[in-house]
Copies of this chain bind each other. A is one copy, B any other.
């Protein structure tokens, strides 16, 4: 597995060696290769397994610890943090909502209500760091799991960073998949969280009667620090479980 790993995964994944090892270890952890509270192999053995230096393994393990997936104990080892299966919807992991739904074993769909290019609002221009007369792509969509609406999203894209072909693809399918194809996927997002009670949010006959939502107000950034898109996502309370790992 030693050299084979570096050959195989460098094509699929991106980022540094340490990031690749981190992502692979995360898959192994979430795949329950080790039981909760159990000990994973030592740094020397992992370095052997992946054919990388111990420094690289330590980089990956530190990152996983900050994410709350493992506990590293000096002189003892690294242990799987006790979490439920719901970790896959971990809030600090920046990933596609639809992909998360699919990984949890459900059928995910996106229903576009509207898609238009218009001038940016003041708030949008500020978040996207563009002038106020710039054009932006605004999309309103509903996200469903097994046919049931779980969220309503209002996204606004900085079209200066994107080509018309990509814009079309974004408005039709998964945002993350489209951005990934041109290597412009966001690596970081800043989100505010709010509780919202309103009947003005959802639409259609599947609109929840309670009107109770968890709002994620986000700005997504590229690796070079530039904002690529911003948006509000209203999650129907109770339909989606958000987990967050907090560390010192």
Contact = CB atoms under 8 A, between A and B. Distances in A.
Nearest to A81: B188
A162 interface: no
A213 interface: yes
Interface residues of A, number: 56
A193 B190 contact: no
A209 to B, nearest CB: 13
A189 B91 CA distance: 13
B94 A247 contact: yes
A67 B65 CA distance: 11
A32 B158 CA distance: 28
Contacts of A59: 58, 62
Contacts of A187: 71, 247-248
Interface string A181-193: 0000111111111
B67 A245 contact: no
A194 interface: yes
A244 B91 contact: yes
A16 B95 contact: no
A79 interface: yes
A226 B169 CA distance: 47
Contact of A195 (B55, B74, B214, B225): B214
Given A74-B16, A212-B197, A225-B37, A190 B245 contact: yes
Q: Which 3 A-B pairs have the closest CB atoms?
A: A195-B195, A94-B246, A66-B66
